[in-house]
Copies of this chain bind each other. A is one copy, B any other.
């Protein structure tokens, strides 16, 4: 693990998230936390460096985010960004386009699981451009 990553939660940080790097702006880390195929509840901790966010995307089964450390942003298409901090839970309905990530100044970690994991598919779209990202950060400061 990169020793430059601050400890912002009790959960493992894992390894640099190279598999999904093509869908992220900035660096992220991924720690798988579940593996039991019979249980079939995927769970991972995703950690974002300050300024890091994922592309606009959606999930056919929906997604549930459990914020465990730092401060972040969540935005659905056409809505204002929401400020996230440890203890917040976000339910993302199936096929709703959205993005999530750290604020410009804070590290951020959330656990993530999906609805209908046996059939869920992720649809990755365009990056969140700097203007939209900065607008999201401004909204939470007002």
Contact B89 A43 (CB under 8 A): yes
Check A39 against B111 for contact (C-beta < 8 Å): no
Binary CB contact string for chain A from 45 to 82 against chain B (1 if under 8 A, 0 otherwise):
00000000000000001111011100000000000000
Does more than half of chain A's interface fall in helix, strand or loop, or is it mixed? loop
Measured CB to CB, the nearest residue on chain B to A85 is B10
A83-104 to B contact mask, C-beta < 8 Å, 1/0: 0011101011110000000000
Q: Given the complex of chains A and B, what is the CA–CA distance between A12 and B9 in angstroms?
A: 17
Of B11, B68, B89, B94, which is within 8 A of A34 by CB? B89
Query: Which interface residue of A40, A41, A61, A87 has the most chain B CB atoms within 10 A?
Result: A41
